Structure 1
């Protein structure tokens, strides 16, 4: 179980690192745009991603 969790974290880090590595200018523009969004919008996006992740986790198991 721990091995699987570590592999999932490793894959997530690889995917998260691909965008700034391949498209640094677009990534910077996105981060600047995100920084100007209201906190409530950022929170809604976070909750949405958590729900999608939980559904995918449930579906795989």
Structure 2
């Protein structure tokens, strides 16, 4: 179980690091746009990401 969790964490770190590694300018511009969003909008996108993650987890398991 711990091995699977560590593999998932490693994959997440790889995917999170691709954009700043490949195109730091575009990543910085995207991050600046995210800073301009309201808290409610950020929460909504966070909720969508959690729901998508749960759906993927449910489909795979």
TM interval, shorter chain, is: over 0.9
Q: Which runs of 5+ in 2 are unaligned?
A: none
Kindly provide the CA deviation profile for residues 2-59 of structure 1, in whole angstroms up to 9, marking residues without a partner as x.
Answer: 1011000100000100100101000000000000011100000000000000010011
RMSD of aligned Cα (Å): 0.4
Which runs of no fewer than 5 residues in structure 1 stay unpaired?
Answer: none
How many aligned positions are there?
61
Task: State the match for 2:60 in structure 1.
Answer: 60
With the length of structure 1 as denominator, give the TM-score of the two structures.
Answer: 0.97
TM-score, normalised to structure 2, is 0.97
Q: Which 4+ stretches in 1 moved above 6 angstroms?
A: none
